[in-house]
Amino acid sequence: MTPRAGGSVAGVVRSAVVREVGGPSIRFLLIRGGARCRTALVARIAGDLYGGKHMRALIFDLDGTLVDTVYAHVFTWQQALAEAGMPIDGWRIHRRIGMSGGLFARAVARELGRPLSKDESDALQRRHAELFEQLMPERRPLPGAVELLRHLREAGVLYGVATSGARPGIDSSLESLGIGPDTVVIERGDVARAKPEPDLFLACAERLGVGPRECYVVGDAVWDLLAARRADMLSIGLLSGGYGEDELTKAGAYRVYRDAAELDDSLDELGVLP
């Protein structure tokens, strides 16, 4: 509750205990006053706390959610690991895509039963970035991604991007989506810990100026959904990164859509449109 709202009500009812009840879209102030513990529903404050309207925001993952890069990441990680003497099946890599590069390298090495030093992990990440840039200098937006972002802008719905990737590697992806400097983008270097920790999403919400509970995370991997839960945000899963609907649902997705295009057609289900 904002001090402004709490202060105004407390000024009317002396010795009152004020608390919010109800969901994020409909809130009430419940006032219990004096010894009789009189309870009165005094005000529906949906919107009032936020200057006349509720601010909701969508926070997008990038790879596999907005751009078609997941399988290129799998292939180039596989190649980088093979060069370092760690051959591994592609599907095992796919399960880890979306978490931070450092965590990814250590997790894969653990799976192979081989300890990995910080220097080795850094070298692997550099080699992967190099191979990825060679394989995919130009990025392809996933179906509906560009249109979805345009519709959100036109409707005045806040959105940002929060990715485990880092600049300059993500620059081509952002460019392909028409995302410029006016859009909030939180990348790996902006926070101490990447997904599945919540830091990227929390930093994005803060930059957007909204609370975590007003945000939906949109992602293709279970790591996005785990990080969203840790950030106290609802999440939406997209199938465009290769995870199945059941996995995304089990990981906590509020809704699962095929891709950005289907999400675009379903914005009304989310209650984000004015």
List residues binding Mg ion (CB under 5 A). 61, 63-64, 98, 220-221
User: Sheet harboring 16-21: ordered strands across?
Assistant: 16-21, 28-33, 38-44
Alpha-carbon span 9 to 2, nearest angstrom: 11
What are the two backbone dihedrals, phi and then psi, of residue 180, each rounded to the nearest 5 degrees? -110, -170
Is 29 or 161 the residue whose CB approaches Mg ion more closely? 161
Measured from the CB of residue 123, what is the shortest distance to Mg ion in angstroms? Answer: 24
Q: What is the greatest pairwise CA distance in the chain?
A: 75
Q: How do 158-162 and 184-186 pair as beta strands?
A: parallel
Chain centroid, CA 7 distance in Å: 33
Q: Say which residues have a Cβ less than 8 Å from residue 71's Cβ, sequence separation at least 6.
A: 94, 242
Is 63 or 214 the residue whose CB approaches Mg ion more closely? 63
Chain centroid, CA 132 distance in Å: 23
Of residues 48, 38, 46, 43, the one with CA closest to residue 16: 38
Measured from the CB of residue 66, what is the shortest distance to Mg ion in angstroms? Answer: 9
Alpha-carbon span 160 to 60, nearest angstrom: 6
**What tokens does 70 get?**
């997941």
Is 187 or 220 the residue whose CB approaches Mg ion more closely? 220
Measured from the CB of residue 231, what is the shortest distance to Mg ion in angstroms? Answer: 16
Is 64 or 198 the residue whose CB approaches Mg ion more closely? 64
Measured from the CB of residue 110, what is the shortest distance to Mg ion in angstroms? Answer: 21
Return the percent helix, strand and coil in the chain, to nearest 5.
45, 20, 40
Alpha-carbon span 70 to 142, nearest angstrom: 11
Measured from the CB of residue 219, what is the shortest distance to Mg ion in angstroms? Answer: 6
Is 64 or 160 the residue whose CB approaches Mg ion more closely? 64
Measured from the CB of residue 114, what is the shortest distance to Mg ion in angstroms? Answer: 26
Measured from the CB of residue 55, what is the shortest distance to Mg ion in angstroms? Answer: 25
Residue nearest to Mg ion (CB): 64
- Using DSSP's 3-state secondary structure scheme, residue 209 falls into coil
Alpha-carbon span 65 to 250, nearest angstrom: 18
Is 196 or 212 the residue whose CB approaches Mg ion more closely? 196
Is 202 or 221 the residue whose CB approaches Mg ion more closely? 221
How many CB atoms sit inside 10 A of residue 29's CB?
25
